[in-house]
Amino acid sequence: MSVSNPSMIVQDIGSPCVGSTLSRPCRFDPKCDTCLVLTPSSHDTATALEFSGHGCPVCGGTDLRLYLDAENPDMTHEGIGSSRKVFSPGRVLRCAKCRHGFRKSPPTPAELSELYRRMDVEVYEAEHESRVQTAKRHVRLLSRWASPGRLLDVGCASGVFLEQALRFGWDVAGVEPNEALVSKAARRVGSQRLWNTTLEEADFAPESFDAITLWDVVEHVVDPPDFLRRCARLVKPSGTILFKIPNLDSWQARVMGRRWPLLLPEHLGYFTRSSIRASAERAGLEVVFFGRGAVTFTAGYILLRAGQHRVPLTQFGYRVAGNGFLGRLRLSIRLGELYVVARRASTNHQPAGDLS
């Protein structure tokens, strides 16, 4: 295949993988070595050469493919968070070795910190009651893997999860760079439990927490292994780290393609089980559990977000029902996310039952 200008290629997510003998669309076969892309042109040598200076942030692999060729605007504080006004996830590369997906040319950690400090939180707060339901689900998961002790929630936002964990007997602490969200969290759990900064800038003593939670956080960092290494230093030897991440091998991601709602401007990483396990191992952690993540939102918010990704009929549905009675109904849905539980210790205790 010859491509004179790879950046002009538009993906055809329904076409068979280039060089493959598969008779079905490649997006339905996550184990195929060539099924790494939404953009067929990314198998071309010219495209591969364009990324020769990049390495996978998880495993350092240099065999990279262009997973998604979308507009790549500079990230701004108006383009991130639930109130975002820009919806392009940028150009997303994918590693052929560990299958990790990541945004090409991400902001620096300092730039990210400033973006999140200035982020608009109006739409985020409008879904407060829905987020309470998700927070209760997260506390139940935490309770299956750890007994109440000292807990750090990184990216604690407005403190909804911290408030629920406090009710379950946890001694909570939260880190959040956005001042408006910290102010709301302080009204829920007290300002003495909060640090208005990033984890990298916070000054916690090593091994000072029994558990750390990272709900919708790891996909926002430039270097996942290094970030998890920081977390590993903060938990006690038998401590537990729980997080939720977008799964690039989920059926939702493969079926929806570029319309997958988790392809977002602020998401710098898109994981698979193998890539998050590799990240954890490099951080000195052992993954002991995977589960399917779920979230609760109003129907109106779901239609709004899906419409932004041009999912058929959702824009019409939002105009008809988004602000009415039907739009206020709360639904629990799976968007293609993974719950992950990791520990420093080698003890591999499996709780009874299955997470549903």
pLDDT of residue 53: 56
Among candidate residues 19, 52, 61, 58, the one with its CA nearest the CA of residue 37: 19
CB 146 within 8 A of CB 210: yes
| Two tokens, residue 312 | 């058929």
Same domain, 84 and 144: no
Q: Which amino acid is at 202?
A: A
* Domain total in the chain: 2
C-alpha span between 304 and 314 (Å, rounded): 7
Q: Are residues 247 and 275 in the same domain?
A: yes
CA 41 vs CA 13, 17, 135, 345: distances in Å: 11, 10, 41, 44
Domain boundary among 83, 117, 151: 117
Which residues have C-beta within 8 Å of that of residue 203, sequence separation ≥ 6?
none
What is the rounded (10 degree) CA torsion for 87, 88, 90, 96?
Answer: 100
3-class DSSP string for 49-87: HHCCCCCCCCCCCCCEEEEECCCCCCCCHHHCCCCCCCC
Are both 91 and 182 inside the same structural domain? no
183: Cβ contacts below 8 Å, ≥ 6 apart? none
Over residues 288-331, the pLDDT tens digits come to 999 998 899 888 787 877 777 778 877 777 677 767 778 788 88
Q: At 191, is the secondary structure helix, strand, or coil?
A: helix
Query: Residue 194, SS3?
Result: strand
127/247 same-domain check: yes
Please give the sequence-ordered ranges of beta strands (E in DSSP) within the chain, or none if there are none.
64-68, 92-95, 101-103, 150-154, 171-175, 194-195, 209-215, 235-246, 269-270, 286-292, 295-298, 330-333, 337-343
The per-residue DSSP string of 247-274 comes to: BTTSHHHHHHGGG-TT--TT--EEB-HH
Residue 210 near residue 225 (C-beta atoms within 8 A): no
Alpha-carbon distance of 123 to 133, in angstroms, equals 17
Model pLDDT, residue 21: 36
What residue numbers bound the domain in which 113 lies?
6-117
The reply to whether 151 and 102 lie within a common domain is no
Cα–Cα distance, 328 to 348 (Å, whole number):
42
Q: Which pair of tokens denotes residue 274?
A: 């193998």
Q: Is residue 138 part of a domain?
A: yes
Q: Which positions of the chain have pLDDT values less than 70? A: 1-54, 71-87, 113, 116, 119-124, 318, 322, 345-356
For residues 319 and 304, the answer to whether their CB atoms sit within 8 Å is no
In a domain, 348, yes or no: no
Residue 18 has what pLDDT? 34
At 34 the pLDDT is 42
Q: What pLDDT shows up at residue 86?
A: 59
d(CA 321, CA 133): 22
Residue 100 resides in a domain: yes
Residue 76's pLDDT is what? 56
pLDDT at residue 17, as a whole number: 41
Residue with tokens 């911290």: 162
Boundary of a domain, candidates 96, 117, 138: 117
Instruction: Tell me if 356 is assigned to some domain.
Output: no
Q: DSSP readout, 94-115? A: EETTT--EEESSPPPHHHHHHH
